[in-house]
Structure 1
Amino acid sequence: MRIVSFLPAATEMVYALGLGDQLVGVSHECDFPAAAKTKPVLVRPALALEKMTLREIDVAVAERIRSGGSLYQVDENLLCELKPDLILTQNLCQVCATSGNDLTVALKLLQPKPEILWMTPHSLAEIFENICELGQATGRSNAAETFIAERRERLETIAEQAKNISHRPRVFCMEWADPVYCAGHWVPEMVQLAGGIDELARKGTDSVRIQWTDVLKWPPEILIFSPCGFNLEKALEQVSHLEAQLGWGELPAVRSGRVYAVDANSYFARPGPRVVDGTELLAHLIHPELFDWNGPDDAFRSIPTSNSRASKMRIKTCSECGQAFECKMGGCWCDDFPPLPPSAAPGADCLCPGCLAKAVEHVRAEKP
């Protein structure tokens, strides 16, 4: 059988079932296992996203989708040359990987028509179903069943250990930083199995843009920064976006040093075999006293917070205008100025920069 995979998660499934020698073509994102990088590449990105900021990526992707354009380019000539019997693709997300829309023209050129296996999972159970379907389509049903059973056992071990945990901490899995996106699909299940609670996440459906005030209202005790499609190195490059958020230094996760960047590309974003590893990683980050991490060292990093500008800030409400603002401990007017007269700021506890300037001018004006 000649298999073409347009989906990194599907490529991982192919190798997990011992079908690597039958894989004849992949996408540019198929980088695991290492052998996948030796296969002919049929798909390239249509946008140079690596040169963009997070905000620029969000805008460019939204604009491309809104205009009906594709984020990927399929090499139709190479696809015809490879003559696949089976194509693995998805219709879950136009952003994450090649979708059915990208294949419409290419499929018309193929003779004979290959079998298409659609992988559109929204949950851990559906990811396992996709592995089972791949096994059935390739004559590897027994291998698929054995593989799934082993993965399920690992998840059950985590769930059993976490079952009697007295405290399930508030967790926020941030899928994008500018703008802020919550986690979706299978990730909320992973958090739950690992002994945490993420009420900002959307179980079984798309991740969405949320307001930063939503995060402040659900002050996470643990924050997992897992930007979609980014490995650990790229995630760490975006930490400044976190520290720039209003009230960042007041979050319990920041104050206790429990902010982590992770390799989302490997363990969270791809609906493939390694979501089980991702669940084990979450269990370690949420409950390190119960769970060890025996995976790669580059799976996560603790983000330093004690010396950051944000960690020295606290959020206050201006007693004059009522607006929320960041007040640097040891550097706001309440430390650097003597008490202002009642005429300047009745009952003031702390003033925002704008009201502070007005108050200082008022004091100066009253001096003889």
Structure 2
Amino acid sequence: MRFITFVLLFAVSPLAHSIERVISLAPSSTELVYAAGLGDKLVAVSEYSDYPEEAQLLEKVANFDSVNIERIIALNPDLIVAWRSGGSIKSLNQLKGLGFSIYYSDTTYVADIADRIEELSQYADKPDVGRTNAKAFREELKRLQDQYSSGAPISYFYQLSSKPIYTIANNHWPSEVFSLCGGINIFEQSPTPYPQVGLEQVIVKAPQVMFTSPHTVQNTELWTPWQKQIPAVSNKFIWSLNADWLNRPTPRSLKAIEQACQHFEIARKTYSTNQIK
């Protein structure tokens, strides 16, 4: 009887059967699947799943707002890797109700990325691939923390959009990327994750550096009239960051940290020199 019970438990374990068909429903999830050594199992992905390059060749069955449930049913995946955001929750619940196995790749902190890779590696034919990538991620993250964590605090503003102006609050992705560099968010205490702010609010808070995404960089002239009031503008410390590195919680988040921290270092040296003078 004990043997029979063991066999039954093993049979229903999500890891007991071989995973052969995987679908990813977010670009960040797609990158994590490849990092975990499961890229050869992917049969479909979401729109904008463009890294690594081979992901671009796969069928698209979702975007930020919708999921093609009928097509997913037809593809019959063994595992769906998803990120709970946008308009996907209802569809994910429906897929779960239909009996599909779903792994949620949500992350809150940068360190969670290594955990997601490690967890997903359990489904790979060669788990050591994901474990090795997770280990490398943790080591590089520690190196970056050791290198940049002791720098003097620098206030920053991250402009997500221009009309209207949106930004981020602390503890919401990708705020930790900046805080690892010693950045102090001028809207850190906002009660909403991605607050809409006014021009006057930014001017009053006078950030020392400003960051934008490529789609907002053309609108940085918005701040030109206020160069006397905003140190970031007067010093030309307005930088555009790689949106894919910054906004997707993936192994490439390490590149975002490196990129942001290098900009903070430039500002840090300038403000330090000015204080000495």
What's 2:251 paired with?
273
- Amino acid corresponding to residue 148 of structure 1 in structure 2: A
Matched ranges for 1:187-202 at <5 A: 187-201=174-188
Equivalence for 2:271:
none
TM-score, normalising length: structure 2: 0.78
SS in 2 for 1:121: coil
Deviation at 1:99, TM superposition (A): 2.2
Shift of 1:164: 3.6
Q: Which amino acid aligns with 1:176?
A: S
1:110-157 per-position Cα deviation (integer Å, ceiling 9, x unaligned) = 5xx331001222221333322222122446543333212212222222
Q: Which has the higher contact order (CA 8 A, sep 6+)?
A: 2
2:91 is aligned to 102
Contact (CA 8 Å) 1:235, 1:263: kept in 2 or not? no
RMSD over aligned CA atoms reads 2.7
- Kept after mapping to 2: 8 A contact 1:155/1:193: no
Aligned 8 A contact 1:195 1:287 in 2: no
Please state how far the C-alpha of 1:88 moved relative to its aligned partner.
0.8
Asked if 1:221 corresponds to 2:199, the answer is: no
Match of 1:315 in 2: none
How has the CA–CA distance of structure 1 residues 115 and 201 changed in structure 2, closer, same or farther, with 3 Å as cutoff? same
Structure 2, unaligned runs of 5 or more: 1-19, 269-277
Give the drift of 1:43.
1.6
Does structure 1 retain, via aligned residues, the 8 Å contact 2:111–2:138? no
Aligned with 2:160 (options 175, 189, 192): 175
What letter matches 1:81 in structure 2? Answer: A
Counterpart AA for 2:178: V
Decide whether aligned partners of structure 1 residues 115 and 140 sit closer, same or farther in structure 2, where only a CA change above 3 A counts: farther
Q: 1:65-106 CA distances to partner (integer Å, 9 max, x unpaired)?
A: xxxxxx32x333321221100001122x31xxx622133445
Structure 2 equivalent of residue 10 of structure 1: 29
Matches of 2:125 and 2:226 in 1, distance apart? 52
Tell me the SS of whatever aligns to 2:122.
Answer: helix
In the TM superposition, residue 39 of structure 1 has moved relative to its aligned partner by 0.4
Distance 1:131 1:217 in 2: 42
Report if aligned partners of 2:28, 2:249 keep a CA contact under 8 Å in 1: yes
- Distance, in Å, in 1 between the alignment partners of 2:188 and 2:197 is 10
Q: For 1:37 and 1:21, how far apart are their aligned partners in 2?
A: 13
Matches of 2:114 and 2:88, distance apart in 1: 20
1:40, 1:276 → 2: CA distance? 28
Partner SS, residue 166 of structure 2: strand
Residue 44 of structure 2: aligned partner: 25
Is 1:263 aligned with 2:249?
Answer: no
Displacement after TM superposition at 1:202 (Å) = 6.2
After TM superposition, give the deviation of residue 206 of structure 1 in Å.
2.6
Give the 3 Å change call, closer, same or farther, for CA 36–235 of structure 1 in structure 2.
farther
Q: Supply the AA of the counterpart residue of 2:50.
A: D
| 1:121–1:271 contact (8 Å) kept in structure 2 | yes
* Partner Cα distance (2:28, 2:78) in 1: 19
Q: In 2 relative to 1, CA 31–195 (structure 1 residues): closer, same or farther, beyond 3 Å?
A: same
Query: How many angstroms apart in 2 are the aligned matches of 1:259 and 1:121?
Result: 28
Picking from 123, 134, 139, the partner of 1:148 is 134
Residues 33 and 257 of structure 1: CA distance in aligned 2, closer, same or farther (over 3 Å): same
Choose between structure 1 and 2: higher helix proportion: 2
Matched residue SS, 2:240 = strand
TM-score, normalised to structure 1, is 0.60
Q: CA deviation at 1:187?
A: 2.3
Task: Output the CA distance in 2 between the equivalents of 1:156 and 1:289.
Answer: 23
In structure 1, how many angstroms separate the alpha carbons of the residues matched to 2:134 and 2:189? 25
Aligned to 1:249: 227
Q: Which has the higher Rg, Structure 1 or Structure 2?
A: 1
1:35-184 paired onto structure 2 within 5 Å:
35-44=54-63, 71-72=65-66, 74-91=67-84, 93-94=85-86, 99-106=88-95, 113-138=99-124, 141-165=127-151, 167-184=152-169
